[in-house]
Amino acid sequence: MNNIFFSLGANIASKMIILLVNIVSFRLLLPEDYGVISLLLAMTATIGAVAGMGASVAVNSVVAREGFSSLTSLFIKYNYFFAFLFSNILAGFIYIFYLNDINKIPSWQVFAFILIFSLISSLNSISEAILIGLHDYKRLFVNNFASFLIFLPISFYLILEFKITGVLINLLAYRFFLLLINFYFVNKTKLLKVRSNNKDEKREIFKRFKELSLPVILSGLLVAPVIGLAFKIVTMQDYGLKQLAYFNIVYQVYLVAIFIPNALNGYFVSRFSSKGGSGQKDFFKIAKNNFFFALVVSFCLFIFQKVFFLIVDDHSAALINNYYIMLGTIVLFSLNAVFASFWPSVGKAWFGFYMNIVWAFILLSITFIFSKYQISEPLAWAFLIAYFVLSVVQILNYKVLTHAKK
């Protein structure tokens, strides 16, 4: 129970500082300027998910399963390298094919922020995965909570003083500080100092990379980039940045609302993958609890919606509609989050990749069609419909899998 508490606490602290930055930015900046921040964060999430997510899920699973071993140490080092490599390649790709001056901000400045922020985030995600794999949830909680307390006053000052530039500086400084302290404690475990010249282990690493990292990296290519592209589609319409601003502030609340299933993803992967664990047998119970908890969260957000609108100081129709639609998305995401942890643990990481293809196709199609025909809140509807379809497909496949084992 303590492990779950610290895992959740770490994620809360991490998400709350980002939510705080978004709320202050929404209130102090023009909607178009806040739309710029929203688009930049979507781009960095694109690279971070691809460069770090595949590595972090695989590292978490391998560390939990193998413990302190030369294989684990070598696997971690390879994934740090791949995260660094992918961050640079993808940032360059976005700069060449995707970027232009955004709301009068030169493209080279946008590129510099995207590259540095994405690189820091992807490397930090691996460090966090190592601590989770070692079941050091308390350390991760302390690190994230300390960062939150330190950057709470700094965030207000930078945004008030420097506006958009202050937001970007604050985000970079926060992520860099988190990377430093997490990597420091990873290094203290001495896990990175374990060495091996065994060629069989190197072959095993590439096998693990193919089975675990690669499908999740490819899944990342179909998640964060799709969200970034969906945001871009909306901004190409009339008053697009303003529309994105009203969606993104709700989206940030959504990200905090799903922190429980999101934070527990790492815990579930570790539990499902651990030797001798009963995690896979408990899957249905875990999924059911996650689903009902999400219902409670959505209900609470509905009851206390006036608090949110008071905080952001806005009651526009677009904001209210986005808020209501995303309440349903919270429930559907929470159900899918458990499946995202389950498939890699039963050797079906590639199935998760195929599910993301379905999700990406639906999300982009709905966003494009609704935007083209000027249907209100295209992004919110796209998220809701995409996760609904994914929930149905994954539940049916889980039933087929469990029936085959009987």
The 10s digit of each residue's pLDDT in 288-346 is 777 888 899 999 999 999 999 999 988 999 999 999 999 999 999 988 877 776 776 66
Q: Can you tell me the mean pLDDT for 271-288?
A: 60
The model's pLDDT over 207-227, given as tens digits with 9 standing for 90+, comes to: 777 776 666 666 666 666 788
For residues 105-123, give the mean pLDDT.
82
Q: At what angle do helices 70-97 and 199-208 cross, to 10 degrees?
A: 50
Instruction: Give residue 25's domain range.
Output: 2-405
| pLDDT tens by residue, 134-169 | 889 899 999 999 998 999 899 889 988 888 889 889
Sign of the Cα pseudo-torsion (135, 137, 142, 143, in order): positive
Winning range, highest mean pLDDT, from 108-112, 152-156, 258-262: 152-156
Residue indicated by tokens 């095993």 = 204
Q: What average pLDDT score do residues 379-402 get?
A: 89
Give mean pLDDT, residues 72-80: 84
State how many domains the chain has: 1
Higher pLDDT, 403 or 374: 374
Between 175 and 78, residue with greater pLDDT: 175
Highest-pLDDT range among 12-16, 18-22, 215-219, 345-349: 18-22
State the Cα–Cα distance between residues 107 and 230, nearest whole angstrom.
20
pLDDT at 269: 52
What letter represents residue 367's amino acid?
Answer: T
Mean pLDDT of all residues belonging to the chain = 81
